[in-house]
Homo-oligomer: A and B are copies of this chain.
């Protein structure tokens, strides 16, 4: 087996400077405290280049000098660390029954985690944009009050998201062609930070890679639980996007052509069998008597309680749901061969009853022995993984070497 890289080369000197700035910033993030000479020695960049880049990073307050000096022969060196103070990045997510917001600093440390009840599937896109904008305004006001500038904001939604931040289709939200990034930018009156939209599973996968139990894994998948079942894949250390940004779409994999109708218009999709509304509808049929469910937490609690009491119907139903989940994970394991698939949302909450059946199905269906080494686990990131990933993604512009707007 041969490793082959075909990365594009830098095409002009501006790109080279951006790329080198990213190398310096990443070195400081991973190895701080470190000196300019360390950076030059470890990255192969020449000392003048490193000095010039570090000067710029200090001037823009992305990096700062500490009082420390290295204990070594010769002239003591000034040590550098990331400057955690002046900036924040925001992530928002649109769930089945709530919105969430997370802010992090440049080092990825959480500054705030907020959740707010909101039934987006029952709301119009315009109502959802208004609610997101209100939440974003409160969060930016909070971090601004602490003296931080917002670097960027990324919203995670269940569904297809294109490169312009438009949502061509979200069966889980009932959306079609919603230009969410544009509308949110307008609702926030064209803020001086980037406003981006991404698939919630992609963002959750970024959060796994940086903050999850499998942080640092080069090949992993996060499967979101909730109204939609989405897949976000890290492949060889990078987010799998595909040509139009639609990769990782697993929710509408047909598992049973004779299965229940799906919001996408087909039948027997993973989402129609394993999605939170589908599970609640099937295992707690009485909940629909009062109209559509807009708050799933009490139903999830009931399912957990019934499963914990060994209710045979609920246990059998969750095992069956787990088998469907394992079937889909086997397809992921065959095609992507990840080290781990982490499941979030209700799939994590109900994990003790879903995952044993899912793991058996995964092992039985994957071609490679031992499912190709793929472990199937509940995510440890809790209910705000996509928002945390959104904040992580909002740091990406700076981490990739571009300077924040003044």
Closest to A20 in B: B44
Distance in Å: Cβ of A240 to nearest Cβ of chain B: 6
What 1/0 flags go to A140-166 for Cβ under 8 Å of B? 000000000000001000001111110
A242 interface residue (CB < 8 Å to B)? yes
Max count, chain B CB within 10 A of own CB: residue among A235, A243, A394 = A243
Chain A interface residue count, Cβ-Cβ cutoff 8 angstroms: 90
Are the C-beta atoms of A165 and B368 separated by less than 8 Å?
no
- Residues in B neighbouring A334, C-beta threshold 8 A: 246, 249-250, 252-253
- In the bound complex, do residue B169 and residue A244 qualify as a contact, i.e. CB atoms below 8 Å apart? no
Interface string of A367-379 (1 = CB under 8 A from B): 1110011100000
Docked-complex contact B4 and A206, CB < 8 angstroms:
yes
A44 touches B16 (CB 8 A): yes
- Whether B243 lies near A1 (C-beta < 8 A) is no
* Nearest opposing residue in chain B for A209, CB measure: B6
A66 at the interface (CB under 8 A from B): no
Binds B, one of A54-62, A77-85, A108-116, A336-344: A336-344
A28-69 near B? 1/0 per residue, CB < 8 Å: 001000000000011110100000000000000000000000
Smallest CB-CB separation from A368: which chain B residue?
B246
A254 at the interface (CB under 8 A from B): yes
Q: In the assembled complex, how far is the CB of residue A52 from the closest CB belonging to chain B, in whole angstroms?
A: 13
Do A46 and B44 touch across chains, with their CB atoms under 8 A apart? no
Of chain B, the residue at the smallest CB distance from A23 is: B9
CB proximity of A159 to chain B, nearest CB, Å = 9
B46 with A368: CB separation less than 8 A: no
Which residues on B sit within 8 Å (CB–CB) of A154?
Answer: 2
With the chains together, A394 CA to B1 CA distance in Å?
A: 10
A2-B196, A236-B241 known; A246 and B372 CB under 8 Å?
Answer: yes
Q: Complex Cα distance A196/B23, Å?
A: 33
Q: Does A309 reach chain B (CB closer than 8 Å)?
A: no
Chain B CB within 10 Å — which of A7, A169, A266, A396 has the most? A7
10 A-B pairs (CB sep. < 8 Å): A1-B163, A2-B196, A9-B23, A160-B367, A169-B367, A171-B367, A243-B338, A244-B337, A247-B335, A252-B367
Interface residues of A (CB under 8 A from B): 1-13, 16-17, 19-20, 22-23, 26-27, 30, 41-44, 46, 154, 160-165, 168-169, 171, 196-198, 206, 209, 217-219, 231, 233, 235-254, 264, 266, 331-332, 334-339, 365, 367-369, 372-374, 393-394, 396-397, 399-400
Beyond known contacts A247-B335, A254-B365, A335-B335: 16 more, CB 8 A cutoff: A1-B241, A2-B396, A4-B206, A4-B396, A5-B22, A9-B43, A10-B43, A11-B42, A240-B336, A242-B336, A242-B372, A246-B334, A246-B337, A247-B337, A249-B334, A252-B334
